[in-house]
Chain A
């Protein structure tokens, strides 16, 4: 089945140690998103790629970066994780302009020690 895949599902890192989360999709969608969801809160958009065009949200910290080497893959890099970055990170895709419905992966839960 076509889907959005996130690896790993659980990631533990140390305070200040760079970490990369990955997302892949078999939907061939041209838009990929990264959301951060902290405990008991709603998902919050960090940034998205429309094809190769990167779109950062104004309040996304510089500590968060993203790469999209091809249509299928997108990475979230956290350069120096702090304790406040512990959260669920959700990847989503959509296919513009045909639809804006977003399809989400299962998420990666990041723990910062």
Chain B
């Protein structure tokens, strides 16, 4: 699986959009980009995933660059409950069970 690089920590003001970057320059053509988050003392929670196209769901949007070497997770209107560690994971997806978690980004939402 390709490795990912994320900033160690970020702050975002409550109500603003939180943009979390991820570099995955060695991603291969059949690998997906997954985002999970882990709120303190809870299990990780799936947020969104994508292959090539930008994706949006009720939680977030995922923007993947055309060369697929980086992506950005966008939380459109951050709330205090979005404070968590966000993990960007590259995985073969369909047919591959393994998620290899990196160090993640600790996002703190500031009131």
A residues neighboring B (CB under 8 Å): 4, 31, 33, 42-45, 48, 50, 55, 90-92, 94, 96-97, 99-107, 109
Determine whether the beta carbon of B95 is less than 8 Å from that of A97.
yes
Name the residue of chain B whose CB is nearest to the CB of A50: B97
Q: Indicate with 1 or 0, residue by residue over B18-56, a CB within 8 angstroms of chain A CB atoms.
A: 000000000000001010101001111110010000000
Q: What A residues does B97 contact at CB under 8 A?
A: 31, 33, 48, 50, 55, 94, 96, 100
Main secondary structure of the interface of B (DSSP, over half): loop
Q: Give B22 Cβ to nearest chain A Cβ, in Å.
A: 14
- Given known contacts A48-B97, A55-B97, is B103 in contact with A90 (CB within 8 Å)? no
Q: Is the CB of B98 within 8 A of A107?
A: no
When distances are taken between beta carbons in the complex, the residues of chain B under 8 Å from A43 are: 38, 44, 99, 101
11 extra interface residue pairs, beta carbon distance < 8 Å, beyond A50-B97, A104-B45: A4-B43, A33-B97, A42-B87, A42-B101, A43-B38, A45-B100, A55-B97, A94-B97, A97-B95, A100-B32, A101-B46
Is there an interface contact between B49 and A107, defined as CB atoms closer than 8 Å? no
Chain A residues within 8 Å of B42, by CB: 106-107
Q: How far is the CA of A76 from the CA of B100 in the complex (A)?
A: 20
Given A31-B97, A33-B97, A90:B43 Cβ within 8 A: yes
Query: What's the least CB distance linking B24 to chain A, in Å?
Result: 16
Residues B44 and A97 in contact, CB atoms below 8 Å apart: no
B7 part of interface (Cβ distance < 8 Å): no
A101 to B31, CA, bound (A): 14
Q: List 13 A-B contacts (CB under 8 A).
A: A42-B87, A42-B104, A45-B98, A45-B99, A90-B44, A92-B44, A97-B94, A100-B91, A100-B95, A100-B96, A101-B34, A104-B44, A106-B42
